[in-house]
Structure 1
Amino acid sequence: MSKFKERLKNGERLFGPFLNMNYPAVVEIAGLAGFDFVIIDNEHGEIPLESTVDLIRAAKLTDIPAIVRVYEGNPELIDKALDLGADGVQIPNIGSKEAAEIAVQAAKFAPEGSRGCNRFVRAGRYGSIDKADFFGKANEETAVILQVEGQDGVNALPEILKVKGVDVLFVGPYDLSASLGIPGQVDHPKVIEQMNEIMAQAKEVGVAVGFFVDDVKKAVEWKKRGVQYVSFSSDVGELFTRFKENADYFKEH
């Protein structure tokens, strides 16, 4: 089992940013700063799939797990991200048991799934890993993170959580708030209530829960509530915040 998945199994609370900048140094900096993981975002931002491999290489330099968020639950995209050497995949817009099954199947080799078998890729160290070791360990080491964002996913949650192979159920609060008719109000009691219900259901079946926050104090609050996979803001958001703080301070003094 990978260190990342082992830490989740042990109940640890992990903290990491979304990365939208197509710049390997940002990944290294995140690792040096002490984050527990990074999410390389192919859904939003400027990172194309073909550049993802260099960001994953940068993650390895500072020993920080690299999760790739694909832009849809397309099995080819999931397979490609894992072939590039990602430690896990995050799949958005899971709204049904069927969508969850497709995502997990795409991330797992047979007999657990239908991921294409090729060890001559970066994940297999270009063929230098023995095929028995590579195909035998990949399923155990690869993290599968399913993202529930709307009421279809919330309503289907009991069935989604029956799908084997799900390591993290990730909730997107902004999309969740929009689906409740209160877009952007991520602290609204309706959002908090629904999040608590989701966490209770996931806990019953032993699946870790993930949540997005854009404020570190909120991150600590959700950490204390039991969220294990706390995704934090983004590289561009944090860069803007720090730049603006310093520019404003200079102007005011």
Structure 2
Amino acid sequence: MHNKELLNCLRNGQRVYGTLIVSTSPRWPTEVKKLNLDFVFIDTEHMSIDRDMLSWMCRTYSALGLAPIVRIPSPDPYEASKAMDAGAAGIVAPYIETPEQVKALRGAVKLRPIKGKKLSNMLNGTDLPEEPLKSYLEEFNAGNILIVNIESGPALEALDEILQIPQLDGVLIGPHDLSCSLNVPEQYDHPVFKEAVSTIIRKAIAAHVAAGIHYFWGVEQEIAWGQEGLNLFVHASDMTAFTAQMSRDINEMKQRLGDRLNENADNRIHI
């Protein structure tokens, strides 16, 4: 999907599917295209991708009809601006906990290129744009997508206020950080964690905001959440898919040939 089509799906509650892309190989985009995904999730919070490489990746995936959604290193409007300048269809801001953070990010994604005092006044409603600037900003930013990570107890407490910020398109659950913040680390079947996920989905749906999760394990659980209304799926990554499949294949060969298995292998990746 291109960014405008993806944005329309998010706003209409339609399910969209993507995966985290780690590989920067120039061959990789054409292989990813074969998966029939709706978007790709490029992470610059935990991955060392520089601005030049990020721009090549964004523009390549865009040219292939895969909207590139970039998670920025921090919930900083200037980081959001850099990602959008690089060709991102939208951004995911990590570890959001206040509506003020979302409001500032809205300015960077939905009202670019306005900055400074004028942007602050526009966000506060004291300087609403008039024509021709109003039409210019709408056209310039058409299709830009704003998503924020909900991955802590304080974010859950502020969720009602966060969801009221205009032009917020989606909330993306960070399961690892959320489980740790709730004192049930990596216990994704724990009632506390499952209730938190259900609460986020329910409140997002009520606010007409897309609800998503970035998940490495448990397709059955993802399907169950989808049945609750989750509509933004970031499943696994190219790296985890590779290690999981290779582990299965190598262990099968070793087992059938009578060789020793690596029973202590830990293929978990925390992002």
Report the aligned-residue RMSD. Answer: 2.4
1:244 is aligned, of 244, 247, 265, to 247
Q: 104-113 vs 143-152, which deviates more?
A: 104-113
Structure 2 counterpart of 1:245, one-letter code: R
Q: 22-31 vs 191-200, which deviates more?
A: 22-31
Distance between the aligned counterparts of 2:88 and 2:55, measured in 1? 8
2:208 is aligned, of 206, 209, 222, to 206
2:7 is aligned, of 5, 8, 15, to 5
Structure 2 counterpart of 1:247, one-letter code: I
| Secondary structure, aligned partner of 2:179 | helix
Measured after TM superposition, the shift of residue 224 of structure 1 is 1.8
Please tell me whether the aligned partners of residues 19 and 39 of structure 1 are also in contact (alpha carbons under 8 angstroms). Answer: yes
Counterpart position of 1:84: 86
| Secondary structure, aligned partner of 2:13 | coil
TM-score by length of 2: 0.81
- Give the length in aligned residue pairs: 239
Distance between the aligned counterparts of 1:213 and 1:63, measured in 2? 23
1:139 is aligned, of 135, 138, 141, to 141
Measured after TM superposition, the shift of residue 133 of structure 1 is 8.4
Distance between the aligned counterparts of 2:145 and 2:89, measured in 1? 6
Query: How is 1:60-79 mapped onto 2 (pairs within 5 angstroms)?
Result: 60-79=62-81
Structure 1 counterpart of 2:171, one-letter code: L
Please tell me whether the aligned partners of residues 28 and 61 of structure 1 are also in contact (alpha carbons under 8 angstroms). Answer: no
Query: How is 1:34-183 mapped onto 2 (pairs within 5 angstroms)?
Result: 34-109=36-111, 135-183=137-185
Measured after TM superposition, the shift of residue 21 of structure 1 is 2.4
Structure 1: where are the runs of 5+ without partners?
118-130
Distance between the aligned counterparts of 1:241 and 1:234, measured in 2? 10
Please tell me whether the aligned partners of residues 107 and 113 of structure 1 are also in contact (alpha carbons under 8 angstroms). Answer: no
Bigger Rg, which one: 2
Structure 1 counterpart of 2:239, one-letter code: V
Q: Can you list the C-alpha shifts for 1:98-117, whole angstroms capped at 9, x where unaligned?
A: 11111111112269977x99
Regions of 4+ moved over 6 Å: 111-114, 131-134
